[in-house]
Amino acid sequence: MSVESQIVQIVLAFLVLINPLSALPLFLELTHTCSRRERRRVAQMTAASVFVTIVIFTFSGNLLLKVLGISTGSFRVGGGILVFLIAMSMMSKGDNHAKPDLTTPDDGSGMPVEKREIRPVLGTIAVVPLAIPMIMGPGGISTVVIYASSVSSYTGLLLITAAGAVVSLISYLSLLAADRISGLLGDTGLAVLNRIMGILLAAVAVEIIVAGLRSLFPQLAA
């Protein structure tokens, strides 16, 4: 497999799991009092935080597993099960329960509570909750560690880092176009897209689990 093909494969896996579009409603909610320039700044900091998170877990994933005494196969199976559960929740309700719903709640009467015009601290909301956990949730972090633990050279780690850079750029562009995307797709369109992502994510989860089982039980590969 060529380097370009490997990067594309990892990027697609990351996009299906991370799904930057799932953060659009919260981004619009938190930045509704911000200017266009401030929104662009939040999008930049969010994308940068996503990339830094991917890099940290890419290069520390193996060390983390060794310190905890967890085998790569066991982590793949456990991470695959987590990813599969996330996929099931996305397909059943269109939501990702590993990424909390932090939009404006209602008061129990079905009517939204009146929004408080609070000026957000841009750096704070960019890192938490937009970058973590809305874009890079537990499933995304687990997947980064799984891919990092499956490579045996710095070249492989650099490929994951390159894929992370592409995903971060896509996240940035998605947040910049949040108004247009939400207006074009609407709530129904976003829900349908989330379910499609869930189906693809389930397939990715199965592949991760199978790879983990083969690592734990080599005779299965025979």
- Chain segment 184-193, per-residue pLDDT in tens: 888 788 788 7
Angstrom distance (rounded) from CA 41 to CA 118: 18
- Who has greater pLDDT, 4 or 80? 80
pTM: 0.76
Dihedral (Cα; 71, 7, 169, 53), 10-degree rounding = 10
**What are 55-87's pLDDT values in tens digits?**
999 999 888 888 888 888 888 888 888 888 878
Say whether pLDDT at 11 is over 70.
Answer: yes
Between 176 and 1, the more confident residue is 176
- The 10s digit of each residue's pLDDT in 25-39 is 889 888 888 889 999
Residue 189 burial (C-beta neighbours within 10 Å; 0-12, 13-18, 19+) = middle
Buried-state track 88-117, b at ≥16 Cβ within 10 A, e below 16: ebbbeebbbebbeeeeeeeeeeeeeeeeee
Is 91 within 8 Å of 194 (Cβ atoms)? no
DSSP state at residue 108: S
